[in-house]
Amino acid sequence: MSTNSLDRTTVSALVPEALKDIHRLLVLRNDAAELLVAGVAPPFMLIDVEVPKWERVAQTISKAMKEQYEIESICLFPLTLSPEAPISQTQYHVLDARGAPPGAPRGTRWAAINALPLNSFANEADFAALCDTTRKIREFRSDAAAEPFGKPGWIDELLLWAQHELDPYGVRLTGKFRQLNAGPTFALLRLETNGHAVWFKAVGKPNLGELRISQTLFELFPEFVPKLIAAHATWQGWLTTEVSETTLDEVAETGAWKLAAQTLAQLQVKSIGVSNQLLDAGCRDLRISSILAMIGPFVESMSDLMNRQEKSLPRPLREKELHTLGEQIKETLLELAELNVPDALGHLDFNPGNILCLSGRCIFIDWAEAYVGPPFLTFEYLRAYLLRQHPQDRVLTTDVAEAYGMTWCTRHSPLAVAAALNLAPVLAVVAYAVGIDAWRNAISLHEPATAGYFRSLTRRIQSEMRQLHARRQLCCE
């Protein structure tokens, strides 16, 4: 049976509890003067929804509000309780109700926030969450430019601005929208029109450069990215046309992978010669000389992380091993440099979800992790996803690699292309590791999750280096 034939409740029931998160909701209306509570008399509870771990939180919550309570809502921000609040493992999310019926859904009521004392809630942490919510909203309103999507009513400002930008095209918004991501400084929404839908995306730290990168890519390579209609500099947001909602990982036809690889190569070949423009736009500098300069400091940082590892397994790499690995990385980078493959546009997060497919075309989105440097590393990220989704189809993997390589062979020696593709698996991990700014941040590296992640990346580099040497040994036999 296909999950398309199951209703939401049934699908949710099939998901193991361990793979769900409970989000307790602070649903506000009337300019944040009222709160939706469960119960008709104190002590009240906040309503909650279950969100499978792999689903977009804002999208799932908004859908649940519509289906379960018949309330249109916009997610404002996830809430982390202040340190002085009661200890709670609950995840909270703040919503702004739009177009809610005059009355309240069965078993709930709209309560005036200024009339809710501490003992109004069965759970003391819920009251603390309400206090933190009202405080944050006051902060967001006092500096709307810094965190524009945290205050109630921002969606109306967005719709007014978007309509103004669409007027010259004769396009009208219908007022219907679908929210995918939510936070005080970022947003992602699909806005319906009387024709094709449009998308609004806004970014905050650490991706503030994505707007300028997106503008530059549309100016230079309009056939490879969505059409950029307008930009809102204050919000760091932009409006684009909808190409397709179908991403590569949703396409059953395996030929789409070959098309994606071929289109990527075409874009990269076209980007040769505009490196300075791309770097000025904010793309990361991952040219070979730049990566080489980072290897020493990176290895030193990883050595410190290995020394601080508390678990015995997996075994921490010793200082001598890391020194050897660093030298091997440098030698491999110099070997790639000798192939004279030109620098081109790359993407450190090149995954099937960032590739839109429609009518024999592929369009690439989400360029926050754009870089300038060795082009074949980007293909290696795509190949890794292909192997994960089609682990048994080695013929497909070969065909996709050939589709990518053939385009490059029109500009470069086939032997050099083959050699560069052979080096790509290990250097792709290296570029990704040094391209993440967190390894330079001592505070981040003291976070257990971040430290563990970089130790894992370093072991992966060592593993890929061993596989590279094994491939070479095999060729010599």
Q: What CATH number does residue 103 fall under?
A: 3.90.79.10
Residues 350 and 295 in one domain: yes
Q: Phi-psi category of 99—alpha, beta or left, where left has phi over 0 and alpha has psi -120 to 50?
A: left
Residue-wise DSSP of 201-229? EE--TT-TTHHHHHHHHHHH-TTTS--EE
Collapsed DSSP state (helix, strand, coil) of residue 329: helix
Six token digits for residue 114: 């200024």
Residues 301 and 443 in one domain: yes
Residue 277 lies in a domain: yes
Residue 299 lies in a domain: yes
Q: How far apart are CA 445 and CA 456, in angstroms?
A: 13
Contact between residue 411 and residue 420 where contact means Cβ atoms under 8 Å apart? no
Residue 147 lies in a domain: no
Q: How far apart are CA 470 and CA 305, in angstroms?
A: 28
pLDDT of 247 above 70: yes
Residue 303 lies in a domain: yes
Residues 363 and 405 in one domain: yes
Instruction: Give the start-end residues of each E strand in 276-411.
Output: 284-285, 344-347, 355-358, 361-364, 370-373
What's the number of domains the chain is made of? 3
What confidence tens digit (pLDDT) does each residue in 411-469 have? Answer: 899 999 999 999 999 999 999 999 998 999 999 999 999 999 999 999 999 999 999 99
- Confidence grade of residue 297 (pLDDT, cut at 50, 70, 90): very high
CA-CA-CA-CA torsion sign (376, 437, 444, 311): positive
Residues 363 and 459 in one domain: yes
Six token digits for residue 141: 């309103």
Residue 48 lies in a domain: yes
Q: What is the CATH number of the domain that holds 299?
A: 3.90.1200.10
Instruction: Give the start-end residues of each E strand in 17-87.
Output: 20-29, 34-38, 48-52, 72-79
Contact between residue 397 and residue 405 where contact means Cβ atoms under 8 Å apart? no
Q: Of 192, 218, 241, which residue is a domain's last? A: 241
DSSP single-letter state for residue 409: H
Residues 175 and 128 in one domain: no
Domain that holds residue 465: 248-476
Q: How far apart are CA 279 and CA 288, in angstroms?
A: 14
pLDDT of 85 above 70: no
Residues 260 and 392 in one domain: yes
pLDDT of 476 above 70: no
Q: Which comes out higher in pLDDT, residue 51 or 20? A: 51
Six token digits for residue 268: 């990269």
Residues 394 and 259 in one domain: yes
pLDDT of 167 above 50: yes
Q: How far apart are CA 460 and CA 466, in angstroms?
A: 10
- Distances in Å between the alpha carbon of 53 and those of 12, 15, 19, 82, 407? 11, 10, 6, 24, 39
Residue 148 lies in a domain: no
Residues 16 and 127 in one domain: yes
Residues 128 and 200 in one domain: no
pLDDT of 5 above 70: no
Residue 149 lies in a domain: no
Q: Of 186, 207, 241, which residue is a domain's last? A: 241
User: Listing from the earlier edge strand, what are the strands of the sheet with 284-285?
Assistant: 284-285, 370-373, 344-347
Distance of CA 360 to the CA centre of its chain: 25
Q: How many helices (H) and strands (E) does the chain have?
A: 14, 16
- Confidence grade of residue 87 (pLDDT, cut at 50, 70, 90): low
Residues 298 and 328 in one domain: yes
Residue 76 lies in a domain: yes
Residue-wise DSSP of 157-174? HHHHHHHHHHGGGT--EE
In this prediction, residue 359 carries a pLDDT of 84
Mean pLDDT of the chain: 91
Residues 367 and 386 in one domain: yes
Residues 164 and 200 in one domain: yes
What confidence tens digit (pLDDT) does each residue in 338-381 have? Answer: 999 999 999 999 999 999 998 889 999 999 999 999 999 999 99
DSSP single-letter state for residue 382: H
Q: Of 221, 241, 261, which residue is a domain's last? A: 241
What confidence tens digit (pLDDT) does each residue in 126-139 have? Answer: 999 999 999 999 99
pLDDT of 3 above 50: no
Q: What is the CATH number of the domain that holds 212?
A: 3.30.200.20
Region 228-241 average pLDDT:
96
Instruction: Give the start-end residues of each E strand in 348-474.
Output: 355-358, 361-364, 370-373
In this prediction, residue 9 carries a pLDDT of 36
